């Protein structure tokens, strides 16, 4: 296991909470990544499949083979209907995988204000009516686990550049 990462996340009322995120071992992390890919990829693909990105990305290369000079801004045309359908598919897949139990599994090596989130009571008390913090904490854990790997993939780099342009 790697060194723990400490972050502060505000709850939905604006109160700060200290998280300590400990990455899982490689075997468990790799298996979880496979499950996450199975759950997330189809819905995300459906949600962004019709998105058109033109312009120049951060690395100075145009996505989709567009021939534009460095420095041009990205132009992103989102299909909001497809995004909504994709989001619904992701939510349905998470529920099919176990819903809150699956999210708790993602957070199981993390603590919030010193309480281990693998404990159902601590999890339920932390996030009762506080789902924004839950989503942010889950994202932070996934970033700690897989962020380094994902940023190496060219299509992720292009997607992140497009998201930055959206503001």
Please state the domain extents for the chain: 5-166
Percent of the chain at pLDDT above 90? Answer: 41
Comparing 74 with 38, the larger pLDDT belongs to 38
Cβ–Cβ under 8 Å, residues 149 and 36: no
Fill in the DSSP letter of residue 134: H
Q: What confidence score (pLDDT) does residue 67 get?
A: 47
pLDDT of residue 98: 79
Q: Is the pTM of this model over 0.85?
A: no
Q: What is the pLDDT of residues 49-75, one digit of tens each?
A: 766 666 655 544 444 444 444 445 656
């Amino acid at each position: 296991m790697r060194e723990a990462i400490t972050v502060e996340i505000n709850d939905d009322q604006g109160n700060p909470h200290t998280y300590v995120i400990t990455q899982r071992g490689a075997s468990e992390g790799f298996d979880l990544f496979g499950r996450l890919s199975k759950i997330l990829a189809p819905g995300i693909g459906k949600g962004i499949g019709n998105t058109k990105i033109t312009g120049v990305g951060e690395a100075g290369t145009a996505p989709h083979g567009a021939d534009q000079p460095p420095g041009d801004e990205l132009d992103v045309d989102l299909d909001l209907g497809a995004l909504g359908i994709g989001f619904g598919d992701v939510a349905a897949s998470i529920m099919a995988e176990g819903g809150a139990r699956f999210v708790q599994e993602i957070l199981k090596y993390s603590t919030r204000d010193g309480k281990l989130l693998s404990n159902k009571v601590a999890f339920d008390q932390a996030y009762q009516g506080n789902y924004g913090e839950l989503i942010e904490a889950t994202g932070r854990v996934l970033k700690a686990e897989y962020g380094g790997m994902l940023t190496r993939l060219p299509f992720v780099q292009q997607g992140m550049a497009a998201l930055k342009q959206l503001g």
